[in-house]
Structure 1
């Protein structure tokens, strides 16, 4: 006798059909109440849909919709990227996790970082640590919906992933892993996209690191127009640091082209990365 079928009562069917019509991959408790027009009915419908396997809890009041095409049996969603993205109303999977999903690295991070527009405490989702990074309004942009087995989740776009990782090397494995990510990313992100995204991000130090890293990894990557645009954003007096706070004997040192103190050994940057064979 089958007891694990995903049946639907009247209110549950209304909510599932409403979500399907909107092609929603995520629903909040507030949205469910709006769709059914009654908060109590929505709470009951959500509770039953969780029990029957039509919804899966990502966090309090945030649920992943498990598609009808998954069949009549109750199956849980184990894609941590989908659950992490759904765990906040405004957010996207970013940095190292996004680089992994875009194929910029073979590494799978132990911690998923989600960009948000507000303070959110860290969580464990299916035993996976998820950390939330509140971004300044000027930096909170550049995500896309990535498909995953019949639903989608929010992740930073390829160009935003590149810039976010350069902006926060500590969230993508450090300078050596960042070099690997940049090596792969410049093969799919155009120079103009990289430069315009860095400028929109609004950080001079990030733009300095971008210029230095692509010059080191792919010297012909920046077109004259893109190089000029990037340089025009960086004040002549701007100085910043990439790497450790203090310089060591074999570090690259000061790079005058970009006003950057590089406290990293070049051999460390290329310990796991190879220069791309061809770039734009």
Structure 2
């Protein structure tokens, strides 16, 4: 197989691919594929991004940097873009996170922070029961999984530290167009009283009406969760929702 034919075949995978994808697509001996990849890299048509992942260019030395979501999907094939990254994608936050947050139900020895091709990736492993509400978007020739808007909100209620704090959830709830019925269904599906408590409190604060559908027992109300677990455990207690409101009083001014 000569270089032009090989390049055309590889380009069918898009501008970035894994060795495994190339192997399945080309149907050639792994050793021969390794030789081709090494040769094309020396010629400048390929750029090795990290182990097993290559960027392709039809012009020598012009291989571009892939979209961070695409790269995240290749790094964590079982995962989906989530938390702050998904909030930003849907326009539910003005903040632009410097890290791409990837959620996955598959336990693996991921480092706390991956830095690949100059991009930062945070991998959050959740139980399989919490991995749902996944949509697919297309970026160039690649498909990328991402949590849908309602699941993104619920995930951020579950782990506010991965979205910039509970204030970002409040902003999203106020400004985004969400399916409240689906949002409540997702919150209940998380099997977390803390998620329901935070949703109920924020909904009541904004007058969304979701709080009217949330049922908590007396025991739930006597067991206090932090409104924002990323902040110090202090502040007044809210007995209606079983929450400790551990944010300053002026915290809400920029939103309300």
Q: TM-score, normalised by structure 1?
A: 0.73
Whether 2:226 is the aligned partner of 1:241: answer yes
What is the alpha-carbon distance in structure 2 between the residues aligned to residue 201 and residue 83 of structure 1? 28
Match of 1:139 among 118, 126, 130: 130
- 1:35-94 Cα deviation digits (max 9, x unpaired): 33322233344445666787665542245677xxxx868340353233223222111221
The answer on whether the counterparts of 2:130 and 2:190 sit within 8 Å (CA) in structure 1 is yes
Whether 2:186 is the aligned partner of 1:203: answer no
With over 3 angstroms needed to count, the CA separation of the structure-2 counterparts of 1:12 and 1:207, relative to structure 1, is: same
Whether 2:173 is the aligned partner of 1:182: answer yes
Between 165-174 and 137-146, report the one with greater CA deviation. 137-146
Question: Match for residue 277 of structure 1?
Answer: none
What is the alpha-carbon distance in structure 1 between the residues aligned to residue 121 and residue 20 of structure 2? 23
Correspondences of 1:1-280 after superposition (within 5 Å) = 8-17=3-12, 19=13, 27-37=17-27, 38-47=29-38, 59-63=50-54, 74-77=62-65, 79-116=67-104, 117-119=106-108, 120-121=110-111, 122-149=113-140, 151-184=142-175, 187-217=176-206, 219-222=207-210, 227=213, 230-231=214-215, 234-238=216-220, 239=223, 240-243=225-228, 244-248=231-235, 251=236, 253-256=237-240, 258-268=241-251, 270-274=252-256
The answer on whether the counterparts of 2:135 and 2:145 sit within 8 Å (CA) in structure 1 is yes
Alpha-carbon offset, residue 150 of structure 1: 5.0
What is the alpha-carbon distance in structure 2 between the residues aligned to residue 30 and residue 75 of structure 1? 20
Alpha-carbon offset, residue 159 of structure 1: 1.2
The answer on whether the counterparts of 1:55 and 1:63 sit within 8 Å (CA) in structure 2 is yes
Alpha-carbon offset, residue 205 of structure 1: 1.2
Q: TM-score, normalised by structure 2?
A: 0.79
What is the alpha-carbon distance in structure 2 between the residues aligned to residue 135 and residue 92 of structure 1? 11
What CA RMSD, in Å, does the superposition of the two structures yield over aligned residues?
3.1
Give SS of 2:210's match. coil
With over 3 angstroms needed to count, the CA separation of the structure-2 counterparts of 1:49 and 1:169, relative to structure 1, is: farther
Q: Which runs of 5+ in 1 are unaligned?
A: 1-6, 275-280
